[in-house]
Amino acid sequence: MTMLEYTKMILEKVSFEPRIFRKELRKALRQSTKEEFQQLMSWCRERFSKQKNYEKSAVILVNKLE
């Protein structure tokens, strides 16, 4: 299992709680390469964009990390 696959699994499991989701996403994005970063953000948009707290969490994190 790659780190990216592991991260996706963790994010799936904590997606019900925005605070934990943000924390895990932040950790994953800090440790990822540029390519992994793009893949992870695309996957998150596809998977979680319908959840009301996702967009706000992801936008804030990406802005801080860039």
Per residue in 4-63, pLDDT tens?
A: 899 999 999 988 888 888 899 889 888 888 898 889 888 888 887 776 655 556 655 655
The phi and psi torsions of 62 (rounded to 5 degrees) equal -65, -40
pLDDT at 8: 92
- Which structure tokens are listed for 27? 């950790």
Other beta carbons within 10 Å of 44: 24
Residue 10: predicted pLDDT: 93
Q: Quote the distance between the C-alpha of residue 44 and its chain's center.
A: 6
What is the reported pLDDT for 46? 83
Backbone angles phi, psi at 32, to 5 degrees: -90, 160
Structure tokens at 38: 């793009």
Taking the whole predicted model, whether its pTM rises above 0.85 is answered as no
Q: Which two tokens stand for residue 25?
A: 């996403």
